[in-house]
Every structure is written in C-alpha cells, then in structure tokens.
C-alpha cells in the first residue's frame, strides 16, 4: 500500500491541540479554577479531535499491517510489547516525578509532605490503574497507551474471528453508553470512568481498522474532493462546540472528553487524510509529527515545570487565555519535542536500542 504522508502531517496539529487541552488556564490543575471564558471553551472543545485521531490512525495502521503480515499473532505480540515497554518506562518516571513534586513542595511540614507521598502512592499503585486506567499518576496522559493496548488486542481477536463488523456495532453501543459518563451524565449518570479503552478508545480504533479494510470503497462511493471532507470536519467541529456549550453551559452538566459530534468530525478528518495521501510529504510538520508519541508522553512534566517557573514570576499574566495559547503552548510543545529528541540522541550515543513506536510509525509502504 502506498505510504500516506498526511498522517504525520495531521499528527503535528493533533499534538499541538493535546497541549492546548492541558494548558487551558481554566483547568484547576495549575490555576486553582480560573473562570472559563469563550476562548477556553472553543479551543478545549475543538482540540478534542486529537485523541480520537490518534486512535483511528493506530487502528488503521495496525489493521493494514496484520492484513499482510505472514504471522499476525507475532506482529500483535511485538506491537503490544513495544507499547507496553514505553508505557512501563514512563509510568515509573511519572510515578517518581509525582513523589518528587510532593516531597519537595514549598508548603507543609516534612511529615505532611511524606503523608502526601504515601497517599499518592496508595492511590496510584493499584491493579486497575496500572493495567487499565493508567491515569492516577502525575502522568495522567499515559491512559492513552494502556487503552490502545487493550483496543488493538480486541480488534485483533475479532478480526481473527472474522467478526470485525460485529465489533464495530459493539464498540458503537459502548461509546454511546460512555457518553453518560461524560457530559450526558445529567440524563443518566454513570458511576465509573468512561474515558478508557472500552467506552472510548475501542470505538475509534475499530473505526480506523474499518477504514483500513474499506477505505477505498468508502472514498469511491462518496466520490468527494478532499476539501469537502475538510470542510465537513470544521462544520462538525462547530457542532461539537455547540453541543458542548448546550450540555455544560446551559444544562450545567460536567465537561466531557468526547461527544456525539466527535464521531462525525473524526471520520471526516480521516477521510480527508485518506483522500490526500501526499499532503505534507517531506515537510517540517510531518517530520515533527513523526515524534508525536514522544511529545505526548513528555509534555506533562514540561508543563508542570513551566508553571512552577511562571508562578514564581507573574502567574496572573500567564493565566490569561490568549497569552497561554500564544506563548505557553508553543513553549511546552517545542521543549517537549527537543527533550524527546535529546533522549533519543542520548540513547543512540549510549548504544541503547531505541523504542520502536508502532503507534506513530508509518507502516503502510
């Protein structure tokens, strides 16, 4: 299959918007509950295309690979092992990072800080968090990696049983159910987290697999120009913002990570990718986009340290939304990129075999 260069091109922008979500000044992780404004709502909601896109890409590449691999089971083992190593390394890093943050914080007695460390470790080192949710350490973004492992294993099994269509139906039902753990909780609240493998990641991974199996036929039937798919993406993104505004600001539900409109905007964006395979070929954006997984895992520690520095300077200035998105997002993004590249360079110099990231590597040559 011809290599699709637009995947890495779009991953660049998706990674930037992941950083936008976490930089959002209205998130009380760093700013103790600054009032959310219109810009925060628009940026935070629009940016929600990023993680579904990563799941779709992963499902698409994974299905393409196992379709032509002489030993699909061996490839699954290699794929999940590589992600597991990446997840384990960064889980330990962020676990220790969280310990350091609590032990050397500026307030509280030594006994209080040790107590905070003990509470943190108790809540983080649990079976369900390590092997399923992956989000209770300071590296909460790592949930994506463990969710992807579960999702691709399920996709592999159903494809092997020749029941991928059934899995599409099952994952859709799970996704719709998961909405009631998100902003639709005002209608029927669920008591468990639904930003996970089964209720969120599986649907988009299966969608990517379906695009790998039937993408050409879908494009042939629709017979639309790439710009139509791109325009559809922005239209559905606007609808997602309206959907979120109605649920959260009018109905006073809790903010969510995904919505009904997310399905359609994500599908539109990936149809644009499939219809524009040469987009970004040899571009700077694609070069950086290839490192999206590295930026993703690194950026939270960079963000923590950035805000630690900014608080000591003038936090009130930097909590302004415009300043945050124009200055802090690029600073965190590029520091994360160069730190990750530096880690890879160091590993090469030390002759340490680098991780192969099947999540982001283009395998459809």
Which residues, including other chains, have CB under 8 Å from residue 11's CB and lie 6 or more apart? 53, 54, 57, 289, 290, 292, 360
Q: SS3 for 315?
A: helix
pLDDT higher than threshold 70 for residue 133 = yes
Query: pLDDT tens digits, residue range 40-66?
Result: 899 999 999 999 999 999 999 999 999
All structural domains of the chain with their residue ranges? 3-349
Q: SS3 for 352?
A: coil
Q: Is the whole-model pTM more than 0.75? A: yes
Percent of the chain with pLDDT over 70: 92
Residue range 92-106: average pLDDT? 89
Question: Would you tell me how many other CB atoms lie within 10 Å of the CB of residue 44?
Answer: 21
- Residue 362's pLDDT band, with cuts at 50, 70 and 90, is very low
The CA distance from 161 to 108, in Å, is: 57
- Residue 363's pLDDT band, with cuts at 50, 70 and 90, is very low
Query: pLDDT tens digits, residue range 1-42?
Result: 578 999 999 999 999 999 999 988 766 455 555 667 889 899
At residue 363, φ and ψ (nearest 5 deg) are -110, 0
The CA distance from 122 to 102, in Å, is: 14
pLDDT higher than threshold 80 for residue 229 = yes
What b/e sequence results for 316-352 when a residue is b if at least 16 CB atoms lie within 10 Å of its CB, and e otherwise?
eebbbbeebbeebbebbbebbbebbeeeeeeeeeeee
Angle between helices 329-349 and 292-318 (to 10 degrees): 140
Q: Are 243 and 265 in contact (CB under 8 A)?
A: no
Cα four-point dihedral sign 276, 16, 339, 132: negative
């Amino acid at each position: 299959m011809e290599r699709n260069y637009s995947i890495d091109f779009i991953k660049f922008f998706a990674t930037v918007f992941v950083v936008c979500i976490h930089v959002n000044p209205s998130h009380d992780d760093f700013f103790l509950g600054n009032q959310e404004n219109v810009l925060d709502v628009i940026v935070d909601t629009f940016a929600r295309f990023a993680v579904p896109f990563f799941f779709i890409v992963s499902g698409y590449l994974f299905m393409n690979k196992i379709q032509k691999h002489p030993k699909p089971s061996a490839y699954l083992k290699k794929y999940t092992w590589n992600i597991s190593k990446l997840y384990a390394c960064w889980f330990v890093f962020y676990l220790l990072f969280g310990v350091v943050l609590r032990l050397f914080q500026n307030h509280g007695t030594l006994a209080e800080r040790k107590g905070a460390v003990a509470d943190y470790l108790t809540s983080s080192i649990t079976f369900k968090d390590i092997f399923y949710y992956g989000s209770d350490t300071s590296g909460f973004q790592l949930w994506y990696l463990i969710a992807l492992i579960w999702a691709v294993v399920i996709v592999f099994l159903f494809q092997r049983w020749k029941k991928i269509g059934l899995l599409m139906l099952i994952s859709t039902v799970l996704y719709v159910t998961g909405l009631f753990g998100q902003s639709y909780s005002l209608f029927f609240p669920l008591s468990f987290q639904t930003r996970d493998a089964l209720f969120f990641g599986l649907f988009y991974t299966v969608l990517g697999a379906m695009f790998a199996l039937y993408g050409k036929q879908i494009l042939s039937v629709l017979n639309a120009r790439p710009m139509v798919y791109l325009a559809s993406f922005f239209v559905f993104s606007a609808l997602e913002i309206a959907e979120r505004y109605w649920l959260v600001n009018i109905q006073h539900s809790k903010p969510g990570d995904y919505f009904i409109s997310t399905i359609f905007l994500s599908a539109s964006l990936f149809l644009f990718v499939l219809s524009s395979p040469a987009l970004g070929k040899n571009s700077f954006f694609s070069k950086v986009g290839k490192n999206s997984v590295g930026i993703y895992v690194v950026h939270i520690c960079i963000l923590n340290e950035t805000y630690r520095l900014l608080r000591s300077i003038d936090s009130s200035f930097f909590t302004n939304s415009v300043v945050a998105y124009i200055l802090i997002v690029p600073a965190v993004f590029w520091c994360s990129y160069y730190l990750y590249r530096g880690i890879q360079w160091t590993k090469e110099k030390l002759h340490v075999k680098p991780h192969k990231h099947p999540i982001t590597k283009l395998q459809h040559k």
